[in-house]
């Protein structure tokens, strides 16, 4: 094989490997120690990498109602009835399936007011995974 042909096929193999990894690679799980070590500089405080990603999304999309720290004190909270709960004490964040449903389908989907909007069509599954992980971290006791 000539040098050039070898190079071309090596590039093809690499490209195939990379695209396969993107399609079928496992999603990062909350608290994956390897991921946390590699992306250490992207973590905030005691949060894992995945929870930190969720926090960033939360501050961007949700904080206007929920507040930056999810305490129910966002700029728009006083206009809402019922107001957003303090998610650091609410028991709901302990139930990831229910939390995911509220985020993806809106609070009305679990028999509550329609005030928390559905995000299932505007955020990706991965973004919703991150948000669920962040919501769950809120109820965690930090020493």
- Residue 85, CA distances (Å) to 61, 64, 69, 92, 131 in order: 16, 13, 11, 10, 16
Burial of 24-44, coded b for 16+ CB within 10 Å and e otherwise, reads eeeebebebeebbeebeeebe
Measured from the CB atom, the residue of 99 and 137 that comes closer to ligand HEC is 99
Shortest distance, position 125 Cβ to ligand HEC, whole Å: 13
Q: Which two tokens stand for residue 17?
A: 């490997």
Q: Does 85 bind ligand HEC (CB under 6 A)?
A: yes
Residues with Cβ within 8 Å of 106's Cβ and at least 6 positions away in sequence, in order, are 114, 116, 117, 118, 119
Q: Does 107 bind ligand HEC (CB under 6 A)?
A: yes
Q: Which two tokens stand for residue 34?
A: 């390897």
Q: Does 103 bind ligand HEC (CB under 6 A)?
A: yes
Stretch that binds ligand HEC, among 7-15, 22-30, 38-46, 95-103 (CB under 6 A): 95-103
Stretch that binds ligand HEC, among 6-14, 24-32, 42-50, 79-87 (CB under 6 A): 79-87
The alpha-helical segments, DSSP class H, found in 62-121 are 63-66, 96-105
Shortest distance, position 60 Cβ to ligand HEC, whole Å: 8
Q: Using CB under 6 A, pick the residue from 47, 50, 102, 133 that binds ligand HEC.
A: 102
Residue ranges in contact with ligand HEC by CB under 6 A: 58, 61-62, 64-66, 76, 80, 82-85, 87, 90, 92-93, 99, 102-103, 107, 112-113, 115-117, 119, 131, 135
């Amino acid at each position: 094989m000539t040098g050039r042909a070898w190079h071309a096929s090596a590039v093809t193999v690499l490209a195939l490997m990379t695209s396969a990894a993107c399609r079928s690679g496992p999603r990062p799980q909350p608290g994956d120690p390897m991921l946390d070590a590699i992306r250490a500089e992207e973590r905030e405080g005691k949060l894992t990498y995945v929870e930190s990603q969720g926090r960033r999304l939360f501050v961007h999309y949700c904080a206007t109602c929920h507040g930056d720290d999810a305490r129910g004190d966002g700029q728009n909270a006083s206009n809402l009835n019922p107001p957003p709960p303090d998610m650091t004490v609410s028991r709901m964040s302990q139930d990831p399936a229910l939390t995911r449903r509220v985020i993806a389908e809106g609070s009305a989907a679990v028999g509550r007011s329609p005030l928390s909007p559905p995000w299932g069509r505007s955020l990706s599954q991965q973004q919703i995974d991150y948000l669920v992980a962040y919501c769950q971290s809120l109820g965690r006791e930090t020493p």
